[in-house]
Structure 1
Amino acid sequence: MKDSNWTRDDSHLPKALRGLRIPLIGSPLFIISVPELVIAQCKAGIIGSFPALNAREAEGEPPLLDAWLKQITEELDRHNQQNPDNPAAPYAVNQIVHRSNTRLERDLEISAKWEVPVWITSLGARVEVNEAAHSCGGVVLHDIINNTFAKKAIEKGADGLIAVAAGAGGHAGQQSPLALIREIRSWFDGPLALSGAIASGEALLAARALGADFGYAGSPFIATKEANAQEEYKQMIVDSTAEDIIYSSLFTGVHGNYLKKSVERAGMDPNDLPSADSSSMNFGQGSSKPKAWKEIWGSGQGIGDVQDVVTAGELVDRIDQEYRAAGAQLASEFTG
């Protein structure tokens, strides 16, 4: 969905990461990211993604991940054949590398079989995971919360990084994006995405100005029609702002950002939550969050820009328009 004014130079990036309508990746959302959302994101011109652990089949059934990758691959191929001048963006699969993920080896094999173009790895950098991705031509982006973890990820063979800064949804870091991106860019010139309150075109432009190649947006896509989220969750995203986000380790053992109203609704005081440590994390059942807290809903701080529930395509349209308008306005300061 590029237009005649598209002049961004992305020739330094791996082929799978080039040619996006706008430099944006839809982040993988636990439970919420399903093929319908991923396909809509890709057709809209951005990278769509989902966690492999979202594809959970009943005992004795064939792997649902295999069926999802078949569905996504075939639908995007069909779209590209029908729209040769406006092809879809590639998709990504998120692999949770934490030691408790007993499905990891199987999911790597399935992803390699379908030649997944972009692999997002989380909660541990492992050489064998990167090798599995590279065996089928995949590009690996590893998410990190500080410069130390960034260096470890590249040393172990990741191709690029996702800097999860303060304000991001899910397992967010605490560092300012202004500091984190600049520290990484002091030694790394490969693919780099920024996560943390990316919910508008202006925020996306700021990420690019800092030195990131991409913005990484999740929370705005919760409030889309294709998202597999409860309607109450979607509406809570629309009705909330950054002040309605709390940062806690209680629910998974790793600090993350959550909607304060969902914590209150579960009968807890969001201003007086106990802490938990990483030993409580267990992805054997797909999530490290106990079922008792299944309606403790995650969100980043950028949701003040989310005004209503729309399609994924309409959301990308809005961010695209804002991005171009903000860029043109800023550029006018340096011309004439």
Structure 2
Amino acid sequence: MARSPLPAALRGLRIPAVASPLFIVSGPDLVIAQCKAGIVGSFPALNAREKDGEPVMLEAWLKRITEELDRHNQANPDRPAAPFAVNQIVHRSNARLERDLEICARWKVPIWITSLGARPEVNEAAHSCGGIALHDVINNTFARKAIDKGADGLIAVAAGAGGHAGPQSPFALVREIRAWFDGPLLLSGAIATGEALLAAQVIGADLGYIGSAFIATDEANADPDYKRMLVESGAEDIVTSTLFTGISGNYLKPSIARAGLDPDNLAHADPSSMNFREGSAKPKAWKEIWGAGQGIGAIDSIGPAAGVVDRIETEYRAALARTAALAAEYGKGE
């Protein structure tokens, strides 16, 4: 299938990557660093929380991100920052959704990422300010529903992704979506290296969706123990469970054990237990149960977010060169 051109907001990136919005972890410091490094930075709107009577935190975050990226672009016209994205949790328990949509439209957020439900009015809000809407999905049925309701693009959340991961292989999921959809398609699921990023494109995605690799960075709003645990862990240390939010997610086994639970014998929870009324996908009892994807074996140190982008770009370009050599060897035909 011939691909439609990517929207302007997803073109001209240093590498074909979008940083995924990380619960608690993603804030202005991380988003600004990611955008300045040349990839789309993002944060969940619900991460911006204020106490009663305080100024609206989401407004303050958008003001800071917008103004700082504008200053960077004026000072570096030959190396402008990538645009940023805001993630909206489209779940019936998110009492802030209507307010947050209005704020994001007023600040002309360029990329809107929606999760846990596809709603036409959210896509309309994105379009009202010139933005694009990307919806994350775990299967082909949800993908079709999202496009039918006005989403501009899709994020295929495959097996191995951090947080609320889907169960399907990326090979199967991307193939089924690409059979009918020629628009923007991102792939999530252990995209932590340049090789994985290129592989995502080879199987049909336009861009990779990178999350866990940015948790162990200086700018991430993550507990130092969380960052160290990522450096010390690998794919076999990831546990899939519904217990902590009501929806299947991937978590660090050592954090579960440290909380006094048996990672190999966890109870199940019903999706009805998910609640965003307090701005959190987890009850307080689980605040130190830490999410991560299966690509964490690529994380070997804690450093600046720009360093993660540097590493992935180097790996990506080396993988491109190897792929060109393979094409020369196997692409001759008869």
* Paired residues, number: 327
Instruction: Describe the superposition over 1:58-96 as per-residue Cα deviations: whole angstroms up to 9, x where unpaired.
Output: 111121000000000000000000000100000000000
Q: Name the counterpart of 1:237.
A: 230
User: RMSD of the TM alignment (CA)?
Assistant: 0.9
Q: Name the counterpart of 1:193.
A: 186
Call closer, same or farther: CA 1:104–1:161 in 2, change over 3 Å: same
Q: 1:114 aligns with which of 107, 115, 134?
A: 107
Q: 1:31 aligns with which of 24, 29, 35?
A: 24
Distance 1:328 1:201 in 2: 12
Q: Name the counterpart of 2:332.
A: none
Q: Give the AA of the match of 1:330.
A: T
Say if 2:77 is the partner of 1:84.
yes
Distance 1:200 1:285 in 2: 35
Distance 1:36 1:11 in 2: 33
Give the secondary-structure state (helix, strand or coil) at the position aligned to 1:148.
Answer: helix
Q: 1:314 aligns with which of 303, 307, 310?
A: 307
Distance 2:278 2:316 in 1: 39
Q: Name the counterpart of 1:21.
A: 14
- The alignment-based identity, stated in percent, is 73
Call closer, same or farther: CA 1:143–1:66 in 2, change over 3 Å: same
User: Cα distance, 1:287 vs. partner?
Assistant: 1.3
- Asked if structure 1 preserves the Cα contact closer than 8 Å seen for 2:111 and 2:134, the reply is yes
Q: Give the AA of the match of 1:174.
A: P
Pairing of 1:140-155 with structure 2 (within 5 A) = 140-155=133-148
User: Cα distance, 1:139 vs. partner?
Assistant: 0.5
Pairing of 1:113-132 with structure 2 (within 5 A) = 113-132=106-125
Instruction: Describe the superposition over 1:164-184 as per-residue Cα deviations: whole angstroms up to 9, x where unpaired.
Output: 000000000000000000100
Structure 2: where are the runs of 5+ without partners?
330-334
Q: Name the counterpart of 2:264.
A: 271
User: Cα distance, 1:11 vs. partner?
Assistant: 8.0
Q: Name the counterpart of 1:46.
A: 39
Give the secondary-structure state (helix, strand or coil) at the position aligned to 2:310.
Answer: helix
User: Cα distance, 1:288 vs. partner?
Assistant: 2.2
User: Cα distance, 1:133 vs. partner?
Assistant: 0.4
Distance 1:27 1:310 in 2: 18
Say if 2:188 is the partner of 1:203.
no
Q: Name the counterpart of 1:299.
A: 292
- Asked if structure 2 preserves the Cα contact closer than 8 Å seen for 1:259 and 1:297, the reply is yes
- Asked if structure 2 preserves the Cα contact closer than 8 Å seen for 1:200 and 1:319, the reply is yes
Pairing of 1:168-183 with structure 2 (within 5 A) = 168-183=161-176
User: Cα distance, 1:217 vs. partner?
Assistant: 0.7
Structure 1: where are the runs of 5+ without partners?
1-9
Distance 1:225 1:57 in 2: 23
Q: Name the counterpart of 1:283.
A: 276
User: Cα distance, 1:138 vs. partner?
Assistant: 0.5
- Asked if structure 2 preserves the Cα contact closer than 8 Å seen for 1:262 and 1:296, the reply is yes
User: Cα distance, 1:285 vs. partner?
Assistant: 1.0
Distance 2:4 2:300 in 1: 35
Moved more, 324-333 or 106-115: 324-333
- Asked if structure 2 preserves the Cα contact closer than 8 Å seen for 1:100 and 1:282, the reply is yes
Give the secondary-structure state (helix, strand or coil) at the position aligned to 1:316.
Answer: helix
- Asked if structure 1 preserves the Cα contact closer than 8 Å seen for 2:161 and 2:294, the reply is yes
Give the secondary-structure state (helix, strand or coil) at the position aligned to 2:208.
Answer: strand
Q: Give the AA of the match of 2:206.
A: D
Distance 1:80 1:215 in 2: 24
Distance 1:333 1:133 in 2: 42
Moved more, 283-292 or 133-142: 283-292
Distance 1:88 1:11 in 2: 24
Q: Name the counterpart of 1:227.
A: 220
- Give TM-score, length-normalised by structure 2: 0.97
User: Cα distance, 1:335 vs. partner?
Assistant: 2.5
Instruction: Describe the superposition over 1:272-304 as per-residue Cα deviations: whole angstroms up to 9, x where unpaired.
Output: 000001100100111121001100000000000
User: Cα distance, 1:264 vs. partner?
Assistant: 0.1
- Asked if structure 1 preserves the Cα contact closer than 8 Å seen for 2:4 and 2:182, the reply is no
Give the secondary-structure state (helix, strand or coil) at the position aligned to 1:95.
Answer: strand
Distance 1:37 1:110 in 2: 21
- Asked if structure 2 preserves the Cα contact closer than 8 Å seen for 1:250 and 1:274, the reply is yes
Distance 2:272 2:326 in 1: 51
Distance 1:202 1:235 in 2: 24
- Give TM-score, length-normalised by structure 1: 0.96
Give the secondary-structure state (helix, strand or coil) at the position aligned to 1:335.
Answer: helix
User: Cα distance, 1:128 vs. partner?
Assistant: 0.4
Q: Give the AA of the match of 2:92.
A: R
Distance 2:190 2:303 in 1: 18
User: Cα distance, 1:310 vs. partner?
Assistant: 1.3
